Chain A
Amino acid sequence: MKHIHTAIIGAGQAGLAMSRCLSDRSIQHVVIERGEVANSWRTERWDSLRLLTPNWQSRLPGFAWSGSDPDGFMNMDGIVRHLDSYARVSRAPVETRTRVNSVTVQGQRYRVSTDKGDWLCRYVVLANGACARASVPAFAAELPPHVQHFTPLSYKNPAQLPKGGVLIVGASASGVQLAAEIAAAGHEVILAAGNHIRVPRHYRGRDIQWWMDASGLHDVSVREVDDIERVRRLPSMQLVGERSARFIDLNSLQSAGVEIAGRLVGIRDGRALFSGSLANACALSDLKMNRLLAELDDWAGRHGIDDVQPPERFAPTEVPATPMLDLDLSGGRIASVIWATGYRPDFSWLNLPVFDRKGRLSHQEGRVAPGLYVLGLPFMRRRVSAFIDGVGSDAGAHADHIMRTSCRHAA
């Protein structure tokens, strides 16, 4: 049994940022990592994926991105190198290839049991990622047996897919990127789209993430939104880390030959059933995009931002005249289904009463219980919390809280 002040679980950007913040405050800690630094980026992402935020927006505590292309988008090798350097520069005390089996309470402390022994600690920070598991609807079990299925965590590239049509379920960043890539590889692709968030990659000559950052929208805190549960459920913006394409949206996908259907609502007798609400999902998305652009224009006007191009508005989403309502999955036309239906974290080893009635981790701005913290969840403290660029400020807040409560313990 080893004793430590704080145990951080996970050595991705969140765990490394937390480690750096604790080191800066001279707080003794360990970072427990099941694989290598940046393990999820190394092993659980598709081959062509690039970050959705520009390089310069990979700011971590005490570590800025330094390279020749600040407006480019890192591929997976790039982000792994970035985090490797960060771990090295920060001298993060990472215990790699160490898997956490359970976290339990032992007296006034937490016991973190791993496959390489146990740690007893006063503080635990859960930094093991918001995208550890793919959320797949229960009716996935109704798929005909010959249809192969994948999630964005198991999909790597189109060569992996069987010959034939592909039904992609979900139109967030993951779903639209996979639809574009798989259609370009020559597969028939059908994309089931429920509520989705359409935005241009760049607007008035600046990247959309520049706008979100500069206007303060990234910094909006949970205290400023009226329904935090709703905003935490929002799908990711339809973006790809690629400057040349203005949009990767339902219009661009339809131009590329992808057929768009409504939200997949069930599978019955070997047929996929789609909602008849596609037109409204598209209308909501266009309205939401225009509200965002108007807010950005308003901000630019108020702050005299004049080194940008004039405001623009975009053609609405083209909805097929009669979107398909069902699709035969048993006849052979569709050979595979990809469930791009969201992600959730994995806290299956956290044996504590800290979950709500839907099994989600309960927390207040990342504080789960006395001495127990979480990082990297969507809109955890601020809109940017789940981004590389946002985790540092949350880690700093947790580190300050740990400092304050440690001192109280000592006194």
Chain B
Amino acid sequence: MTNATIAVSNGVNTEALIGARGAFEQAPEAARFTFRSTCDWVEGNYSRNAINGYFGLGQDHQRKQTFTIESDHPEVFAAEDRAPTPTEIVLSALASCLTGGVASIAQHRGIQLRSVRAVVEGDVDVQGILGMDPDIRNGFSAIRVSFEIDADASAEDIAALVAQSQKRSAVFDIVTNPTNVAVSVA
């Protein structure tokens, strides 16, 4: 351990993560996780996800509590605006993933963070989801993430943190690369 990592505390246990890397090298099957969310329709566009159990390290895990994520549509879409839209939840997932990554990598590199804020914007032309124009996709045509980071580091080191965070981010990968999605009816 270097002096830098002793002095820095971003609240990330990088030693445990590095230990996990070592363990997964010996038992790669333990690294295969499955995450789940269960969504119940409430009414209209309003729905509620319950998130608890996941599979990893070769077994099922239960959390101490069940988390809920609700979603609705805003009033301009004639809904009641009781919760964010699913697309906003995707943007927030991207922001959280990149922000958590910045903290982890800063810890690993011995950089003390004071504040990190990510502002995420995604452009959607709703003619796509309304089926009005086949040339317009349903999803985001572009996503922009703008970080404001206050840390004991040079501008170049901060840029490198943000770049590395994208390189290792699950949600960044999910939104930038295609994924096969299988939907079935039980």
A and B: bona fide binding partners: yes
A residues within 8 Å of B by Cβ? 195, 262, 265-266, 268, 273, 275-277, 280, 283-284, 287, 290-291, 322, 357
**With A287-B156, A322-B142, A357-B28: A280-B177 Cβ-Cβ less than 8 Å:** no
> Are A277 and B172 touching (Cβ within 8 A)?
yes
B2 to chain A, nearest CB (A): 11
Verify B163–A280 contact, CB threshold 8 A: yes
Q: Chain B residues with Cβ under 8 A from A277's Cβ?
A: 166, 172-173, 176-177
In this complex, which of A266, A276, A284, A291 has the most chain B Cβ atoms within 10 angstroms of its Cβ?
A: A276
A267 to B164, alpha carbons, bound, how many Å?
27
Query: Is A273 a contact partner of B178 (Cβ separation < 8 A)?
Result: yes
In Å, the complex CA distance between A268 and B180 comes to 10
The interface residues of chain B lying within 8 Å CB-to-CB of A322 are 142
Q: Is A276 touching B163 in the complex (CB atoms < 8 A)? A: no
Tell me the bound Cα distance from A302 to B129 in angstroms: 61
Q: State the CA gap A360–B82 with chains docked (Å).
A: 54
- Majority-rule SS of B interface residues: helix
Evaluate whether A280 and B167 lie within 8 angstroms (CB atoms) in the complex, with A287-B156, A287-B160 already known.
yes
- Which residue of chain A is the closest to B160 with respect to CB atoms? A287
Given contacts A322-B142, A357-B28, is CB(A284)–CB(B164) below 8 Å? yes
Interchain CB contact (< 8 A) of A275 among B142, B163, B177: B177
The answer for the CA separation of A43 and B175 in the assembled complex, in Å, is 43
Determine how close the nearest CB of chain A comes to the CB of B123; give it in whole angstroms: 11
Docked-complex contact A265 and B166, CB < 8 angstroms: no
The answer to whether the Cβ of B79 comes within 8 Å of any Cβ in the partner chain is: no
Q: List 5 A-B contacts (CB under 8 A).
A: A273-B177, A277-B172, A283-B163, A284-B163, A357-B28
| A262:B159 contact, CB within 8 angstroms | no
- Which residue of chain B has the shortest Cβ distance to A290 in the bound complex? B156
User: How far, in angstroms, from A277 to B143 measured CA to CA in the complex?
Assistant: 11
The CA of A124 and the CA of B120, in the complex, are separated in Å by 58
Give CA–CA (A357, B175) in the complex, Å: 30
CB-CB nearest in chain B for A321: B142
* Per-residue contact bits, chain B 168-182, to A (CB 8 Å; 1 contact, 0 not): 000011011110000
Interface SS of chain A: mixed
Closest CB-CB distance, A389 to chain B, in whole Å? 30
Q: Which residues of B contact A (CB under 8 A)?
A: 28, 142, 156, 159-160, 163-164, 166-167, 172-173, 175-178
**Chain A: CB-nearest residue to B137:** A325
Docked complex Cα distance between A112 and B156 (Å)? 53
Q: Is the CB of B167 within 8 A of A284?
A: yes
CA distance A297 to B148 in the complex (A): 30
In the complex, chain B residues whose CB is within 8 Å of the CB of A284: 163-164, 167
Q: Which residues of A contact B142 (CB under 8 A)?
A: 322
Is the Cβ of B175 less than 8 Å from the Cβ of A280? Answer: no
Extra contacts, 18 of them, besides A268-B178, A280-B172, A283-B163 (Cβ < 8 A), are A273-B177, A273-B178, A275-B177, A276-B177, A277-B166, A277-B172, A277-B173, A277-B176, A277-B177, A280-B163, A280-B166, A283-B159, A287-B159, A287-B163, A290-B156, A291-B160, A322-B142, A357-B28
A357 to B156, CA, bound (A): 38
**B19 CB → nearest A CB, Å:** 15
Complex: how many Å from CA A262 to CA B167?
13
| Assembled-state Cα–Cα distance A195/B178 (Å) | 18
Contact among B163, B175, B178 for A265, CB-based, below 8 A: B178
- Rounded to whole Å, the gap between the CB of B93 and the closest CB of chain A is 16
* Chain B residue nearest to A281 in the complex (CB): B167
Chain A residues, CB < 8 A from B172:
277, 280
Which residues does chain B contribute within 8 Å of A262, judged by CB atoms? 176
Of the candidates B160, B173, B177, the one having the most CB atoms from chain A within 10 angstroms of its own CB is B177
Residue of B nearest to A229 (CB): B25
A232 vs chain B, min Cβ distance (A): 14
Alpha-carbon separation in the docked complex, A268 to B175 (Å): 17
On whether A266 and B163 interact (CB within 8 A), knowing A277-B172, A290-B156, A322-B142, the answer reads no
**B175 near A276: Cβ-Cβ < 8 Å:** yes
Contacts of A268 in B (CB 8 A): 178
Report B128 CB to chain A, min CB distance, Å.
15
Q: How far is the CA of A322 from the CA of B142 in the complex (A)?
A: 8
Q: In whole angstroms, how far apart are the Cα atoms of A306 and B38 in the complex?
A: 66
Query: Is the pair A265, B177 in contact by a Cβ cutoff of 8 Å?
Result: yes
Provide the residues of chain A in CB contact with B173, threshold 8 Å: 277
A322 vs B123: C-alpha distance when bound (angstroms): 13
Q: What distance in Å separates the Cβ of B120 from its nearest Cβ neighbour in chain A? A: 14
B162 — nearest CB in chain A belongs to which residue? A283
Give the 10 A-B residue pairs with the shortest CB-CB distance, closest first.
A276-B176, A280-B166, A277-B176, A283-B163, A265-B177, A284-B163, A287-B160, A275-B176, A275-B177, A273-B178
In the complex, chain A residues whose CB is within 8 Å of the CB of B163: 280, 283-284, 287
Measured between beta carbons, the chain A residues less than 8 angstroms from B167 are 195, 280, 284
Assembled-state Cα–Cα distance A275/B163 (Å): 15
Query: Could you tell me the distance between the alpha carbons of A273 and B178 in the complex, rounded to whole angstroms?
Result: 8
State in angstroms the CA–CA spacing of A337 and B22 once bound together: 38
**B166 cross-chain contacts in A, Cβ below 8 A:** 277, 280
B164 / chain A contacts, CB cutoff of 8 Å = 284
Closest B residue to A287 by beta carbon equals B160
Give the docked Cα–Cα distance between A283 and B161 (Å). 11
B177 CB contacts on chain A under 8 angstroms: 265, 273, 275-277
Contacts of A266 in B (CB 8 A): 178
